[in-house]
Amino acid sequence: MMPEMMPEMMDESPDDFRARARRWLRDNVPTEHPPVDGPESRAYALAWQQRQFAGGWAGLTWPRAYGGRELPVLQQIAWFEEYARAHAPSTHNALFVGMNHAGPTLIACGSDEQKAFHLPKIMQGDVIWCQGFSEPNSGSDLASLRTRGEVQGDELVINGQKIWSSYADIADYQELLIRTDPASSRHHGLSWVICPMDAPGITVRPIKTMAGPAKFAEVFYDNVRIPLANIVGGLNNGWKTAMATLSFERGTASLALQISLSQRVEELIAACDDVALGETLMDLRADAAALRAMSYQFAIKSESGPVGSEGSMIRLYFAELAQRVARVAIDIFGIAAPEVLAVHGLGYDYFDAYSETIAGGTAEIQRNIIAERVLGLPRGSR
Amino acid sequence: MDYDFTEDQAAILGGLEQLIGSLNIEPPKDAVFSAYSQPLDDELTAGGYLDITSQEGFGLLDGALIVEQLAQLPVSVEAATSVLIAPVFLEDTTRRPVAILAGALTKPARFLPMAKTLLADIGDDLLRIEIPEGAVEEVATLFAYPYGRLKNPENLPRVSLGSAQLPTFRRRWRIAIAVESSGLMQSALNLVLEHVKTRQQFGRPIGSFQAIQHRLVMAAELGQAVRWLGLRAAWSDSESDAAIAATFAQDAIPRFCTDLHQFCGAMGLTLEFPLHHWTYRLRALLGELGGSSAQAIAAADATWGQK
Mean pLDDT within B292-307: 89
Question: How far does chain B reach from its first CA to its final CA, in angstroms?
Answer: 34
List, for residues A333-351, the tens digit of each pLDDT value: 988 888 887 767 898 899 9
Task: Name the residue among B32, B107, B200 with its Cβ closest to that of A336.
Answer: B107
Give the gap in angstroms from C-alpha B271 to the nearest C-alpha of chain A.
5
Task: Name the residue among A216, A335, A351 with its Cβ closest to that of B288.
Answer: A335
User: Residue B85 and residue A298: Cα distance in Å, rounded?
Assistant: 55
**pLDDT above 70 as % of chain B:** 98
**Residue A325 CA: distances (Å) to CA of A270, A288, B65, B236:** 14, 10, 34, 36
Q: In chain A, whose CA is at the least distance from the CA of B290?
A: A334
User: Domains plus CATH for chain B?
Assistant: 165-304 (1.20.140.10)
**Residue A118 CA: distances (Å) to CA of A54, A311, B56, B216:** 18, 26, 77, 45
Question: How far does chain A reach from its first CA to its final CA, in angstroms?
Answer: 49
Mean pLDDT of all residues belonging to chain B = 94
Is residue A135 domain-shared with residue A189, that is, in the same domain?
yes
Alpha helices in chain A (DSSP H): 14-28, 38-55, 73-85, 96-97, 103-109, 112-124, 238-249, 255-271, 278-302, 310-333, 338-341, 346-353, 363-369
List, for residues A247-267, the tens digit of each pLDDT value: 888 888 889 999 999 999 999
**pLDDT above 70 as % of chain A:** 97
Nearest-5° Cα angle at A207, A201 to A209: 155
Q: Do B266 and A359 touch (CB under 8 A)?
A: yes
Q: Do A343 and B287 touch (CB under 8 A)?
A: no
Q: In chain A, whose CA is at the least distance from the CA of B203?
A: A382
Q: Do B266 and A358 touch (CB under 8 A)?
A: yes
List, for residues B235-275, the tens digit of each pLDDT value: 999 999 999 999 999 999 999 999 999 999 999 999 999 99
Please tell me which residue in A249, A266, A303, A372 is annotated as part of the active site: A249
Residue A379 lies in a domain: no
Residue B3 has what pLDDT? 80
User: Residue A372 and residue A376: Cα distance in Å, rounded?
Assistant: 5
Mean pLDDT within A327-335: 90
Give the gap in angstroms from C-alpha A230 to the nearest C-alpha of chain B.
28
Mean pLDDT within B144-165: 96
Q: Do A357 and B262 touch (CB under 8 A)?
A: yes
Q: Do A323 and B32 touch (CB under 8 A)?
A: no
The number of residues in chain A equals 382
- Selected residue of B121, B122, B138, B141 to mutate for chain A interface (largest A Cβ count, 10 A): B141
Mean pLDDT within A158-178: 97
Q: Do A341 and B143 touch (CB under 8 A)?
A: yes
Is residue A217 domain-shared with residue A260, that is, in the same domain?
no
Residue A103 lies in a domain: yes
Mean pLDDT of all residues belonging to chain A = 93
Mean pLDDT within B125-154: 94
Is residue A135 domain-shared with residue A76, that is, in the same domain?
no
User: Residue A359 and residue A166: Cα distance in Å, rounded?
Assistant: 10
Q: Are A343 and A327 in contact (CB under 8 A)?
A: no
Residue A339 has what pLDDT? 85
**The total number of structural domains that make up chain A:** 3
Mean pLDDT within A200-226: 95
Residue A1 lies in a domain: no
Give the gap in angstroms from C-alpha B235 to the nearest C-alpha of chain A.
28
Residue A244 lies in a domain: no
Give the gap in angstroms from C-alpha A335 to the nearest C-alpha of chain B.
5
**Who has greater pLDDT, A263 or B34?**
A263
DSSP B241-286: HHHHHHHHHHHHHHHHHHHHHHTTTGGGGBTTSTTHHHHHHHHHHH
Residue A305 has what pLDDT? 79
Query: A9 falls in which pLDDT band (50, 70, 90)?
Result: low
Q: At what angle do helices A278-302 and A255-271 cross, to 10 degrees?
A: 160
Query: A357 falls in which pLDDT band (50, 70, 90)?
Result: very high
List, for residues A154-167, the tens digit of each pLDDT value: 999 999 999 999 99
Mean pLDDT within B189-211: 96
- Selected residue of A341, A346, A352, A367 to mutate for chain B interface (largest B Cβ count, 10 A): A341
Is residue A189 domain-shared with residue A110, that is, in the same domain?
no
Q: Do A210 and B140 touch (CB under 8 A)?
A: no
Mean pLDDT within A216-244: 97
Give me the residues paired with residue A152 across strands. A155
List, for residues A306-324, the tens digit of each pLDDT value: 778 888 999 999 999 999 9
Residue A3 lies in a domain: no
Is residue A50 domain-shared with residue A63, that is, in the same domain?
yes
Is residue A183 domain-shared with residue A91, that is, in the same domain?
no
Residue A227 has what pLDDT? 98
Residue B32 has what pLDDT? 60
User: Residue A104 and residue A248: Cα distance in Å, rounded?
Assistant: 7
User: B253-279 burial, b for 16+ CB within 10 Å, e for fewer?
Assistant: bbebbbbbbbbbbbbbbbbebbbbbbb
Domain stop point among A187, A212, A236: A236
User: Residue A286 and residue A270: Cα distance in Å, rounded?
Assistant: 15
Residue B33 has what pLDDT? 65
Q: What is the CATH number for A139?
A: 2.40.110.10
Is residue A72 domain-shared with residue A24, that is, in the same domain?
yes
A249: annotated active-site residue? yes
Q: In chain B, whose CA is at the least distance from the CA of A323?
A: B258
Query: A298 falls in which pLDDT band (50, 70, 90)?
Result: very high
Judging contacts by C-beta atoms under 8 Å, the chain B residues touching residue A348 are 142
Query: A4 falls in which pLDDT band (50, 70, 90)?
Result: very low
Residue A135's domain spans which residues? 130-236
Is residue A23 domain-shared with residue A56, that is, in the same domain?
yes
Nearest-5° Cα angle at A337, A333 to A338: 125
Residue B118 has what pLDDT? 98
Is residue A40 domain-shared with residue A139, that is, in the same domain?
no
Query: B91 falls in which pLDDT band (50, 70, 90)?
Result: confident
The number of residues in chain B equals 307
Domain stop point among A106, A128, A150: A128
Lowest mean pLDDT among A152-161, A236-245, A269-278: A269-278
Is residue A15 domain-shared with residue A116, that is, in the same domain?
yes
Q: Are A363 and A319 in contact (CB under 8 A)?
A: yes
Does residue A2 have a pLDDT over 70? no
**Residue B283 CA: distances (Å) to CA of A107, B64, B261, B268, B279:** 43, 20, 13, 16, 6
Is residue A85 domain-shared with residue A124, that is, in the same domain?
yes
Residue A308 has what pLDDT? 80
Q: Which amino acid is located at B291 in the chain?
A: G
Query: B307 falls in which pLDDT band (50, 70, 90)?
Result: low
Is residue A337 domain-shared with residue A281, that is, in the same domain?
yes
DSSP A60-76: TTS-GGGT-----HHHH
The pairing of strands A155-162 and A190-196 is unpaired
User: Residue A97 and residue A217: Cα distance in Å, rounded?
Assistant: 14
Q: What is the CATH number for A15?
A: 1.10.540.10
Instruction: Write the CB contacts of A293 (distance below 8 Å, at least 6 apart in sequence).
Output: none
The pairing of strands B147-150 and B158-160 is unpaired
Residue B31 has what pLDDT? 57
Helix (H, G, I), strand (E, B) or coil at B101: strand
Residue A143 lies in a domain: yes
Rg (C-alpha) for chain B, rounded Å, is 19
Query: A5 falls in which pLDDT band (50, 70, 90)?
Result: very low
Peptide linkage before B97 cis (omega within 30 of 0): yes
Give the gap in angstroms from C-alpha B177 to the nearest C-alpha of chain A.
14
Does residue B226 have a pLDDT over 80? yes
Give the residue from B303, B231, B296 showing the smallest Cα distance to B62: B231
User: Residue B45 and residue A79: Cα distance in Å, rounded?
Assistant: 61
List, for residues A274-286, the tens digit of each pLDDT value: 888 899 999 999 9
Lowest mean pLDDT among A75-84, A194-203, A307-316: A307-316
Domain stop point among A95, A128, A161: A128
Q: Do B211 and A358 touch (CB under 8 A)?
A: no
Give the residue from B106, B117, B247, B69 showing the smallest Cα distance to B170: B247
Mean pLDDT within A56-70: 94
Instruction: Write the CB contacts of B10 (distance below 8 Å, at least 6 apart in sequence).
Output: none
Residue A95 lies in a domain: yes
**Contacts of range A5-12, beta carbons closer than 8 Å, 24 or more positions apart:** A5/A55, A5/A56, A6/A56, A6/A69, A7/A56, A9/A56, A9/A69, A9/A71, A9/A75, A10/A71
Give the residue from A353, A321, A344, A364 showing the smallest Cα distance to A92: A353
Q: What is the CATH number for A278?
A: 1.20.140.10
Give the residue from A170, A175, A164 showing the smallest Cα distance to A37: A170
Residue A278 lies in a domain: yes
List, for residues A95-144, the tens digit of each pLDDT value: 999 999 999 999 999 999 999 999 999 999 999 999 999 999 999 999 99
In this structure, what are the phi and psi dihedrals at residue A141, rounded to the nearest 5 degrees?
Answer: -90, 70
Residue B30 has what pLDDT? 66
Q: Do B147 and A343 touch (CB under 8 A)?
A: no
Judging contacts by C-beta atoms under 8 Å, the chain B residues touching residue A382 are 202-203
